[in-house]
Amino acid sequence: MAPFMKPIRRVVTGNDESGRSRVVWDGPAPNAHPGGTHGNGWTDLWVWHESPAPLLADRDDGNLPYDFPGPPNGGHLRVVHANGRPPDYDPAKDVRLVPPHEPKVRPGGRMWDRGGKSAYTSEDHKTETVDYAIVLEGERNLVLSDREISWRPGDIVIQVGAYHQWVSPHQAALVAFDMIAARFVDGPAGLAQGHDAVMPVDRSQKLPEGVKPARRIVTIDREEGRSTLVSDGPSPDVRTDPARPGFASARMWVTDSTPAKIVFETLHLPHTIEPPARGSVLRVVTVPPDDSWKGKVGAPEVQAFFRTMGSPGASTYTPRAPHPYMQKTRTLDFCIVLEGEIVLVLDTQEVRIKAGDVVIQRDTNHAWSNRSTHPAVLTVASHDGAR
């Protein structure tokens, strides 16, 4: 691994022969790709070539091959290691420099490149995907046709098939990309379809103490070759749990098919923990310390919570369970801790997860237990899976 690339801890779960959840792998993700001495690289964490995604307990799909931007009927999860602009940057000595040019389609026909690449920027490009992009560390700005958006750790960009460029004008960055196959119904233009109104934020809703607003940045192409901002602000769809003061689940985006649709908004779809058939749902979850509610929660409170989340059948509560909020869904879940630390509770073991760690869950019974004195924040991207 190149010196500038940070190892990404990847915890992968599965089920044993008795159907009990367990850890299958825990350690640095093995599929790292350094970009050479002049920077940038990426670490592949998971690949799926079909939807619903396979949930095979003993196969490491982080090692499956794919061609960027990913399988045309599936997707992939990776973390990009991006260099910042060197203090003594000289374009004349930049071996990665590519001047802007007219769009060129990459082999495979699902990525269009307009150049503009340098040691600290990506090319200006467009992919036939819907991307859930999350800054984990450092600085990474988003450049659209009409603006540049500063992007902070924990912010979520929903890239809906738009032209865009990534820039790190000062600091290096780690960015996670959950890239989902999409379909451009009008060919390479890949323009927005339909007229779904962007869901407004309920300004009267007060977030629980200790919960930060989850920033959602949505981009799309309204005109051919020109990317634009759809929305930039707090998630308009936040659910809380009265039995757990300080808990919040902010829904960010939903896909209801694979390939996904190129649309302005998806949060009008029913609110559930489980994604639609052959789809996905992305949430930002704030988990308060267990000590704030321990001993005050039983079956009625847990059932009320899962009803509020639109997934009453996800709960696996029993008085003997290792945690009241144990749940199981037929999904492939990518969970990334953004702030704090938390314990992943499984049927057979517990694992402490820290900021920057990635958990890949496959159809496993689990709960999140916060045994610290501060809130923990994580993103959860759930994809429809097949047992």
| pLDDT > 90? residue 37 | no
Res. 36 pLDDT band, cuts 50 70 90: low
**Which residues, in sequence order, are bridge partners of residue 78?**
44, 177
How do residues 45-73 score in pLDDT, each as one tens digit?
A: 999 999 999 998 788 999 999 999 999 99
pTM comes to: 0.96
Taking residues 243-261, report their average pLDDT: 98
Asked if 132 and 282 count as a contact pair (C-beta separation under 8 A), the reply is yes
Confidence (pLDDT) at 98:
95
| pLDDT > 80? residue 99 | yes
| pLDDT > 50? residue 137 | yes
Confidence (pLDDT) at 38:
45
- Of 51, 19, 70, 73, nearest in space to 332 by CA: 51
How do residues 357-373 score in pLDDT, each as one tens digit?
A: 999 999 999 999 999 99
How do residues 346-359 score in pLDDT, each as one tens digit?
A: 999 999 999 999 99
Asked if 83 and 77 count as a contact pair (C-beta separation under 8 A), the reply is no
- Rounded to 5 degrees, what are φ and ψ at 353? -115, 130
Confidence (pLDDT) at 245:
96
Looking at residue 188, what DSSP letter applies? G
Q: Which two tokens stand for residue 322?
A: 């290792």
Confidence (pLDDT) at 3:
43
